[in-house]
Amino acid sequence: MIRNVLRSARLLILSVCAVWPVVASAADEVTREVDLLVVGGSESAVAASVQAARLGVPRIAIVNDIAWLGGQFTAEGLGAVDEWTIYHGRREPFPRSGLFLEIMNRIEQRMRGKYGHARPGNSFCAWTTCEPRETERLFRELLAPYQRSNGGSVELFEDYEPVAVDTADERVTGVRFVSTKSAPPLAIRATLTIDASDWGDVIRLSGARYLRGPDLKSAFNEPSAPTDASQVEPNEMNPITYCMVLRESDRAGVIDPPRGYDPRTYFGATIVTAEQYKAVGWPKGTMGPFARPWIESEMKNGPYGETPSVYTHRRLVDRRHLNLPAGSELVLVNWPLQDYPTYNFPRHVNEALEANEPGASRKNLVDMTPSQRRIVFDDAKRHTLGLLHYLQTLADSSDDENAVSFRRMELTDEFGTADRLPWKPYVREGLRLDALYMLRETDVRDRDGVQSWADHMVHDNVFGFQFNIDFHPTKRIFLNDDNTGPWAHIHSSYRHWGTHTDRAGFPLRCLVPAQCDGLLGAGKDLGYTSIVSSAVRLHGHGM
């Protein structure tokens, strides 16, 4: 995708001068002038930077808000690489290409060297799995030959957040950043800026038009879109999730319950607590129990070939069935009950947001400041840790010391964070660029029940894709309407788990703002509707 974008757009101005101006202002502001500025450290940001360097762009800057590269693969903790599509009635991996193929080859080579198996996960949801910290190193190795420190054209800045965008005549000319540590401010002037940030902060700060939340049917004439504004909550989006990665331990243990823990919130996680779930009295339609906590299985039939469990769902390293050394068992937990809806927050979250800024609790996550998002993220973390406590207590009734048990798994320390959770939540949907073209449901949706080529094939296609229109439950419902107590997940009437699509193309126009020059969208900051965003959010789509 990125290769085709940079070649087709022809928007990068190749400077004959490779000088890197460094100027300290009165406020000790560090400045740069570059041909290409990439904001973010996601898989999209790395792919854009590497491909631009390969194309000969002489001055490139990457500015990341944390010190991890790789996005979903790494900082968000999604080590089970989701890449399925429907082919001849079966779930198969969509063909890999470009830099996605390159990083996946590196991942499988690293896993083979470490475990003797290129694909050691035996996972329900993934063919290839990876360890976030190891994969972060692979992204750095991918970027390293092109870095200025190695004689290349790329300079990397880390731990900076954008706070302002410079514009002139409806053109983005630069971005200003503030350090999240103690470094001086940073200002970068750029011929072209690519916004690959998690929440499209450069697009938002630039004044370029953008969308967030559900689209009405009147906007894009999508069959599944709501028809009336009274039907929708403007802050409703595909939920975020704080994943957790668990490493096998030689001792049993149970984490402390997080503040506000209520087991009734998690009764829908597994069938172990099905009776308790029914006894609580959750309304019809809430996400109920459907799987066991763990099933002893080596997934002989491959991904999607057997009944899932929390344990096998996104297992990263299957030590027991591959006869690997003790302690190497590794499990990613990204279970639907972990999801954290993006509105109708618990009372304590609303109060914290309002204390930060009056009206903040009614903002869309896209429009929140980084400090406000962190209030939401902290509660999403507590929700995830509550699931782990639940899995180690109510859902774990095993007395067999040799059995796979969540009591014998602990949060890995590979992220280097104080709470041992990933640096960032998994973001399924965020800011959507108002682009030259908005990809919509009718462009991609399957019409006849036989998945094949989409009816609408674009002339400026930059990559092909096929994944379900897939919304996790977006609504939160409180027990007895008490927003201080337990809550459950429920779908909106116009949001569903999986609507089949056909093989479609993603237009170059969807990366280009309709009214702002010098700027491109990337990552999830693209020109598509909310419905289509749910089908273009996998690892490979970002590269």
Instruction: Please give the DSSP secondary-structure letter assigned to residue 332.
Output: E
Residue 2: which pLDDT band, with cuts at 50, 70 and 90?
low
Q: What is the mean pLDDT of residues 500-515?
A: 95
Task: Give SS3 for 30.
Answer: strand
For residue 489, the cross-strand partners are 476
Mean pLDDT of the chain, nearest integer: 93
Two tokens, residue 268: 């829908």
Task: Give SS3 for 157.
Answer: strand
Residue 448: which pLDDT band, with cuts at 50, 70 and 90?
confident
Q: What are phi and psi of 77, to 5 degrees?
A: 80, 10
What is the per-residue pLDDT for 15?
Answer: 34
Task: Give SS3 for 251.
Answer: coil
Write down all domains in the chain, each with its CATH number in brackets.
Answer: 2-208 (3.50.50.60), 244-411 (no CATH)
**Interatomic CA distance for residues 540 and 506, integer angstroms:** 13
**Interatomic CA distance for residues 107 and 96, integer angstroms:** 13
**Interatomic CA distance for residues 42 and 64, integer angstroms:** 8
pLDDT in tens, 177-220: 999 999 999 999 999 999 999 999 999 999 999 999 999 999 99
Question: What pTM was estimated for this model as a whole?
Answer: 0.93
Q: How many CA atoms lie within 13 A of 48 on its CB side?
A: 32
| Portion of the chain with pLDDT greater than 90, in percent | 86
Following DSSP, what letter does each residue of 47-65 receive, concatenated?
A: HHHHHHHHTT-S-EEEE-S
Statement: residue 352 has pLDDT above 80: yes
Residue 398: which pLDDT band, with cuts at 50, 70 and 90?
low
- What does R_g of the chain's alpha carbons equal in angstroms? 23
Residues 6+ apart with CB under 8 A from 83: 93, 94, 96, 126, 127, 128, 538, 539, 540
Q: CB–CB of 488/34 below 8 Å?
A: no
Statement: residue 358 has pLDDT above 70: yes
Statement: residue 50 has pLDDT above 60: yes
Higher pLDDT, 460 or 396: 460
Statement: residue 400 has pLDDT above 90: no
Q: What is the mean pLDDT of residues 226-237?
A: 92
Nearest to 192 by CA among 432, 13, 8: 13
What is the per-residue pLDDT for 40?
Answer: 99
Q: Which amino acid is at 209?
A: R
pLDDT in tens, 111-144: 999 999 999 999 999 999 999 999 999 999 999 9
Residue 9: which pLDDT band, with cuts at 50, 70 and 90?
very low
Nearest to 191 by CA among 44, 10, 64, 47: 10
What is the per-residue pLDDT for 17?
Answer: 35
Statement: residue 10 has pLDDT above 90: no
What is the per-residue pLDDT for 1?
Answer: 60
The neighbour count for residue 368, using CB atoms within 10 Å, is: 20
pLDDT in tens, 243-300: 999 999 988 889 999 999 999 999 999 999 999 999 999 999 999 999 999 898 999 9
How does strand 432-433 pair with strand 409-411?
unpaired
Residue 27: which pLDDT band, with cuts at 50, 70 and 90?
low
pLDDT in tens, 67-118: 999 999 999 999 999 998 888 888 889 999 999 999 999 999 999 999 999 9
CA torsion angle for 49, 100, 509, 193 (degrees, to 10)? -20
Task: Give SS3 for 183.
Answer: coil
Following DSSP, what letter does each residue of 425-463 receive, concatenated?
A: -B-S---EE-BSS-B-HHHHB-SSSS--B-S---TTEEE
Nearest to 83 by CA among 474, 389, 536, 490: 536
User: Which has the minimum average pLDDT: 26-35, 370-379, 525-534?
Assistant: 26-35
In 82-148, beta strands by DSSP E:
84-87, 90-93
Query: Assign residue 169 a region: left if phi > 0, alpha if psi is -120 to 50, beta otherwise?
Result: left
In 95-254, beta strands by DSSP E:
154-157, 160-167, 172-179, 186-195, 210-211, 244-248
Q: CB–CB of 75/531 below 8 Å?
A: no
Q: CB–CB of 180/159 below 8 Å?
A: yes
| Portion of the chain with pLDDT greater than 70, in percent | 94
